[in-house]
A and B are shown apart, each in its own frame.
Chain A
């Protein structure tokens, strides 16, 4: 049973079709990278996985639970699916420690002590233990994104979604975030990562999904994708970002 399974997912904004018959799956422990031109529907696709965006057709199963089923308890499902955003989305009115513990306390029902301890442990893991008492506004972008990853991990997720986690960062901060993600991947975390960082893809991805105009046009093993993508669009896209 795959961890994430998408079957013929379609979505419209009014008459505009953002997603067209998208199907793919992510096995347990697998890392897949989603890439494609801007506006191709990558963010929309990944937000459908934890139900942040509704979709009109098709089916998505996460750990065998149907996301689109109105009877599904979405908050409960989302509590088990970690998500990391392009713009970090730490809560600016809370300290780093509070950012890491609030959902553990309010959603998982952990005690404050337990949640704080778990949060601090993860903060140490991403190398930011000294920043615990600060507010997000006092951290650099790279540091904020590492805290955001720790925040997602604090919920003990069964899989992780990343939506362009490094594209809002200054170049010199990209690697500190990618390093954390590589480490996660190597530990066997199931990950679905929207990114244009092809170095990351080459290093840890198992498969690469290429999207264009709301469609999944390539869904290949990493070696096949980087060896010789079948579609012309993917070839163009690759040559553009690799020669950047």
Chain B
């Protein structure tokens, strides 16, 4: 039995190794969430447009993204982006682009369900008041769809936060990487992986409790 020793994890070590990675993980989560929800909503609107030339590319994109392992998507983008833009790109930037485009596929399925849950009568009412398609969507349908789906969108974001650890595949410096390097340098990998697990757990679990609270509040309002 190995004796655990966490004493090397001083504030200086944490701020030297971990904070930088933590900030990147949060950045990646937030940017991919915002970008993913916006792109995902556009994809959902395309899929619900009833126009084959919009439906087919959107459905193809979403289904492709959803059937490839995220690690492979990360590798694909890391390989392809430099070929497209003609110069190499840092792992961090590549990760941000990848996660935004990847998560868009998942958020789009959520937003599609949300939009479909709004009755046709609401759309008719918007049009009957003289609103355009944009106004009816933007003022009537999307706000309701977004509100109804907020708990699901947030749950997906918790999954996204956990998935950011997969940037390991291209060596981006995230929270997990920070712990890993600290563990290597101080020769204490067991302790650092344990602390990393506890930290990820604490964040994900408390967020999921928040989502549960939110869900109950929405249920009451309805």
Contact = CB atoms under 8 A, between A and B. Distances in A.
Direct contact of A and B (CB under 8 A): yes
Interface string B112-138: 000000010110110111111001000
A75 B124 contact: no
A106 B137 CA distance: 13
Interface stretch (B60-68, B102-110, B139-147, B201-209): B139-147
A128 B221 CA distance: 22
A103 B147 CA distance: 21
Nearest to B144: A93
Given A91-B122, A102-B139, A52 B128 contact: yes
B207 to A, nearest CB: 24
Interface residues of B, number: 19
Interface stretch (A54-62, A82-90, A186-194): A82-90
A28 interface: no
Contacts of A87: 119, 121
A75 B131 CA distance: 6
Contacts of B147: 93
Interface string A65-93: 00000000011111111110101011111
Interface string A185-217: 000000000000000000000000000000000
Contacts of A47: 124
Given A91-B140, A92-B144, A106-B135, A78 B129 contact: yes
Contact of B127 (A52, A93, A102, A137): A52
Given A79-B130, A83-B128, A102-B139, A89 B222 contact: no
Given A93-B143, A137-B222, A107 B131 contact: yes
A80 B122 CA distance: 18
Contacts, number: 64
B127 A75 contact: yes
A141 B133 CA distance: 28
A237 B121 CA distance: 28
B135 A89 contact: no
Contact of A52 (B122, B124, B139, B221): B124
A93 B125 CA distance: 14
A50 interface: yes
B127 A155 contact: no
Contacts of B144: 91-93
30 contacts: A47-B124, A50-B128, A52-B124, A75-B127, A75-B131, A75-B132, A76-B130, A78-B129, A81-B128, A82-B128, A83-B128, A85-B125, A89-B122, A89-B124, A91-B122, A91-B125, A91-B140, A93-B144, A93-B147, A103-B130, A106-B131, A106-B135, A106-B139, A107-B129, A107-B130, A107-B131, A137-B221, A151-B129, A152-B128, A152-B129
